[in-house]
Amino acid sequence: MDRPTDDDARALLGLPMAYLLPATEVLVVEARIIVETNVALAREVSVEGTGISPSFSPIWERKGSRAAVRAAALPVEFASRYFTGGGFVVLGKPGVRTLVAELMPWMAEDPGGAAGALEDTLEVWTSEDAALRPLESPYGGHYKLLSLMLADIARKADAGLDTLDWIASLGLPVEEFRDDDDPPASQIHARMEARMDAMWAQEDAWLESAPR
């Protein structure tokens, strides 16, 4: 996508103007709560005997003063992008949730870049006409961005991207996160692009083969 204006990007990300993020420690706790709430809800609404299906988006939005999730109608394979499989495994790691929390300020300070990097995952999970289901939690101004980043890393990890690939996919300076024994940044970017292409091809195949 073309880079949106900061105002358009903030609207896409649900991020108020001049919003101050909580401390990293708070974001880590909130990330765990978001994941646990989403997984518990997925198990609650799953049909017995058919396993967990991606019947709602893991991205939190505002409905009045409360957080809410939007209904989704995706092929069952998409459950592994968050609720099962590799997505579920990576979100269960405290270090991953901490990384997401630590990168939140980078994304909030560049809403245009964040929107460009995250819009693809947002579009996968969002159907504008779908109903919103309120949650018990009050809504925080950063919840959409935080939950979207969690959904993004889960999706890409399930598709085979590693941590450096994910950071590169966000448009962040991967050089600042490399260790000496990691591949050079150019190789990381090339690897990330190949894995992203494979992810899109796999998801297109899921959509094509879904019952109509």
Asked whether the whole model's pTM tops 0.85, one would answer yes
Amino acid 6: pLDDT: 87
- Looking up tokens 């109903």 gives 131
Q: What is the distance in angstroms between the CA of the first residue and the CA of the last residue of the chain? A: 29
Phi and psi at residue 9, in whole multiples of 5°?
Answer: -65, -40
Q: What is the pLDDT along the chain (212 residues), one digit of tens a residue?
A: 567 888 999 999 999 988 999 999 999 999 999 999 999 998 887 754 455 677 899 999 999 999 999 999 899 999 999 999 999 999 999 999 999 999 999 999 999 999 999 999 999 999 888 999 999 999 999 999 999 999 999 999 999 999 999 999 999 999 999 999 999 999 999 999 999 999 999 999 999 988 76
CB atoms under 10 Å from CB of 26, counted, come to: 13
Other C-beta atoms closer than 10 Å to the C-beta of 140 total 19
- The kind and range of the H/E element at 62 are strand 61-63
Gap between the Cα atoms of 143 and 183, Å rounded: 33
Contact status, residue 118 vs residue 55, Cβ threshold 8 Å: no
Return the pLDDT at 52.
66
